Chains A and B, each alone.
Chain A
Amino acid sequence: AQSVTQLGSHVSVSEGALVLLRCNYSSSVPPYLFWYVQYPNQGLQLLLKYTTGATLVKGINGFEAEFKKSETSFHLTKPSAHMSDAAEYFCAVSPMDSSYKLIFGSGTRLLVRP
């Protein structure tokens, strides 16, 4: 069965610092990969996704993620954190089969210090 592991339930960075949120998946076949963001009292919003092609994916709000098959990872990065980036971030995978089920990790809360 597919699973997603997000290392670190909380990550704290200073404003202007690099953001790195880690995501590893377990799958015998590389799945589709996603990052979603959730602001307080709101639903989830798609940040970026990897399906096929270029392994470095750019998303909204300056975020990007790189698919590394050899490491089964899909870490999310942003060069310079902004206060508005404070939110919960979820990595998700979807198997490349007919189910199209979206399986979420447990989430990482990003705190941005002034």
Chain B
Amino acid sequence: EAGVAQSPRYKIIEKRQSVAFWCNPISGHATLYWYQQILGQGPKLLIQFQNNGVVDDSQLPKDRFSAERLKGVDSTLKIQPAKLEDSAVYLCASSLERGGGASPLHFGNGTRLTVT
């Protein structure tokens, strides 16, 4: 089966600019996650979708970050305006059901964002 696809792989922007990341999950996976991985740290959950509804966005900085999952398939994560501390790898993952237990997460290769 095809894996989780993410684009772009790399992005360099200046602070205060905006940026968007795209994710296409594994076909049939109902749950989609966006994680932020800062260098030297473990991934931190930003937002979790179940189909096209938000399950958890408690750690999403909503003043600058937004995400949507139209039609319960692809998802876009946007940052506007970007700050230096947003430099990180943004990982998208999907699972067949609300994962963690019986339904493992499948991760994409991530988008490395550098904010200068």
- Give residues in A with beta carbon < 8 Å to B: 4, 9, 32, 34, 36, 41-46, 49, 51, 90, 92, 94-96, 98-107
Contact = CB atoms under 8 A, between A and B. Distances in A.
Contact of B98 (A45, A51, A90, A100): A100
A100 B107 contact: no
Interface stretch (B11-19, B40-48, B63-71, B72-80): B40-48
User: Chain B CB within 10 Å — which of A41, A99, A100 has the most?
Assistant: A100
Please provide the 6 A-B residue pairs with the shortest distance between their CB atoms, ordered closest to farther: A94-B100, A43-B107, A104-B42, A100-B100, A100-B98, A44-B107
8 contacts: A42-B109, A43-B4, A44-B91, A46-B104, A94-B101, A96-B101, A98-B98, A107-B41
Given A32-B100, A46-B104, 12 more contacts: A42-B109, A43-B93, A43-B109, A44-B43, A90-B43, A94-B99, A95-B100, A99-B55, A100-B101, A102-B45, A103-B45, A105-B42
A39 to B, nearest CB: 10
Nearest to A39: B109
Contacts of B112: 41
Contacts of A98: 98
Interface residues of B, number: 26
A25 B102 CA distance: 19
A40 B111 CA distance: 13
Nearest to A6: B42
Nearest to A41: B109
Given A44-B91, A107-B41, A102 B109 contact: no
Contacts of A105: 42
Contacts of B4: 43
Contacts of B107: 36, 43-45
Interface in B1-49: 4, 33, 40-45, 48
A87 B110 CA distance: 16
B105 interface: yes
Contact of A46 (B48, B55, B105, B109): B105
